[in-house]
Each structure stands twice: as structure tokens, then as C-alpha cells.
Structure 1
Amino acid sequence: MAIYVVMQPPAGDNKARDAIFVRDSFTWLGFLAAPLWLAWHRLWIEAALTFVVMAILSVTGEKLGLEGAGSLLSLLVSLYIGFEGQALRIAALRRRGWREWGVVEAGNLGDAETRHALETGEDGEEAAPMPRIVPDASLARPPQTGMALGLTHTPGRP
């Protein structure tokens, strides 16, 4: 099971369909292509900073004759983005005014959206009215007084 952080939009009707689900896990694409992954999620400052740091580490490692060290430090930056990329997304959403609704545990994104919709009481469709089990009292027959047939006890008879 995965953990999804549910972020609600800053203003509006705050329906379940407007929420953003951020999976709280290691990000393989963030690890393999850190600046591109950050840019894809519109984390422009973080993407530029990551690109600059990785470039500086690579160039410094080449100039000093430590190609392995420069590559290893760039790998550490990629590992950081892999582990903390989703937290960076959540922080960026908070800066834009989004609010954290809570956490949903589910097997995949579709299940997380369904659980969130059920917990907020929104199912996306207008619910059909429930059928009446008990009839309306105004439709009932008036009580009968008088003689009745059946196996009832009649007062005064054994």
C-alpha cells in the first residue's frame, strides 16, 4: 500500500476532483533525471538550482582531476531529489496556497481518488433518492372499529 498526501486547492468549491494526490515515496524519474522531473512538476527554481549544482560538481571534479568524485556528488544530488522530490512538490503547493487535506492509503492512484471521494462524501454523481420502506401515514387506511375475524381473544370469553 502506498501513502498519498491529498492537497486541496486554495479557493473555490473544493470538490474531490480538484484535489492533487502526491505519492509519498521514492521517485525513480526524479532520481534518473532530476532537473527534468522538477521542471515537469513546475518546480522551476528547484530545477534550475539542481541543474546548476550538478554542473558545478561535474566541472569542478573534471578541473581537479577527480572525475569519480564529481560524478559521485552529482549522484548524491540525484538521490536527494529521488527521496525528497515529492516533499518539494508539497512545499511548492503550500507556497501557492494549497492546503493539506490529509493522507490516504491505497494501492494505486485510482484507489486513492476513490477513497478520498468516499471520505469527503462526494461520489461525482447525483445520488438517487432512497426508496421509502415505511409508507406515508397519510396513505394508511383509518383504523377499523368493530368486529374482526381471526384468532384474537375476545374480552369476556375464555
Structure 2
Amino acid sequence: MASYLIMTPPGAPADDERARFIADGFSWVAFFFPALWLIAKRAWLLGISVAVLQILLILVSTLPGGFAAALTMQVALSLLVSLEGPLFIARKLAAEDWTLRSIIPARNIETAVEIYFANAAATAHHQGATPLQSIEWSKSGRPENAAGVGFFESYGER
């Protein structure tokens, strides 16, 4: 079961149709094509950096004794992008003033959409069209009142 981060555009209500559902989990596409996946998600700088690093790793693999090291580093890079890429996209949206509305565990995205909009409609109906309680993100890119999500603890703890 995956968790889905639900984010809405700046100033939009909780039940806005433009809400983005970001799966917080492993992405096979990001594992096999990390640079292209990042570029497709509009993370231009990181995508180009990963592409350059992949090209350098290909060049290192042609050196004598460099194949094993390059392959290990390529797998590590792919794992990093496939595991942390969705959260990077969520942080990028938060930096653009998108609001993290909820985190919903669900089997697939269709179920997550159904649960979220059912909860949003019920909350609006019972509280006089008051949007769902949102999780505020600070300018540092971390949620102020949310549990930590992701592989690395990037929320200021040590």
C-alpha cells in the first residue's frame, strides 16, 4: 500500500480539481530512466545533473577496473532517484506555494482520489464549506506540523 501526498495550488480550496496526487513510494520508471523522469517532472536542473553524472559513469565504466564501480554507483543513483524523487517533486511544489493538504494511504491512485474528495466533501458539508486542515510548509521546504516522510530525515533533526 502506497501513501499519496495531496497538494493543491496556491490559494485553492481543498476540493480543487487541480489537486496533485504524488505517490510516496518506489518508481520503476525513475529507477530505469532517472534523468528523463526528473526532466519529465520539470526538475530541470536536477535532471540535467543526473544525466551528466550518468554519462560520466558510462565513461568510467570503459576504464580498466572501472566497470564494477560505475555499475554500483549507477544503481545507487537510480535507487536514490526512484525512492526520493517523488518527495523532491513535492518539495518543489511546496516551494512554489502549493499546500500539502493530506497524506492518504491507499492501494492505488483511484482509491486515493476517491477517499480524498469524499473527505473534502464531507468536511465542507459539516463545517460550512471550510477546507480541510492543511499542513503548512516553511520556506525551508519542510512541513511544520507533519510527520517525517521519506528515506532521509531532512527535517532538521540530527
TM-score normalised to structure 1 length = 0.70
Query: 1:60-80 CA distances to partner (integer Å, 9 max, x unpaired)?
Result: 342354122112211211111
Identity of aligned residues (%): 25
* Shift, 1:99, TM fit: 1.3
Query: 1:38-76 CA distances to partner (integer Å, 9 max, x unpaired)?
Result: 111111111101111111222234235412211221121
Provide structure 1 residue ranges, at least 5 long, that are not aligned to the other structure. Answer: 123-158
For the residue of structure 2 that corresponds to 1:100, the secondary structure is strand
Query: 1:88-146 CA distances to partner (integer Å, 9 max, x unpaired)?
Result: 11111112221111111222111111111111117xxxxxxxxxxxxxxxxxxxxxxxx
Rounded to whole Å, the distance in 1 between the matches of 2:64 and 2:95 is: 39
- Structure 2 equivalent of residue 60 of structure 1: 60
Give the CA RMSD over aligned residues: 1.7
Rounded to whole Å, the distance in 1 between the matches of 2:71 and 2:106 is: 37
For the residue of structure 2 that corresponds to 1:21, the secondary structure is strand
> Is structure 2 residue 33 aligned with structure 1 residue 36?
no
Q: Radius of gyration: which is bigger?
A: 1
Q: How does 1:42-121 map to 2 (within 5 A)?
A: 42-63=42-63, 65-121=65-121
* Shift, 1:34, TM fit: 0.5
TM-score normalised to structure 2 length = 0.70
For the residue of structure 2 that corresponds to 1:17, the secondary structure is coil
> Is structure 2 residue 7 aligned with structure 1 residue 2?
no
Rounded to whole Å, the distance in 2 between the matches of 1:119 and 1:43 is: 31
Q: How does 1:110-149 map to 2 (within 5 A)?
A: 110-121=110-121
Provide structure 2 residue ranges, at least 5 long, that are not aligned to the other structure. Answer: 123-158
For the residue of structure 2 that corresponds to 1:81, the secondary structure is helix
Rounded to whole Å, the distance in 2 between the matches of 1:68 and 1:89 is: 31
For the residue of structure 1 that corresponds to 2:25, the secondary structure is coil
What amino acid is the match of 1:88?
F
Residues 16, 116 of structure 1: 8 Å contact kept: no
| Runs of at least 4 residues off by over 6 Å | none
Rounded to whole Å, the distance in 2 between the matches of 1:63 and 1:47 is: 25
Query: 1:14-48 CA distances to partner (integer Å, 9 max, x unpaired)?
Result: 53312100111111100011111111111111110
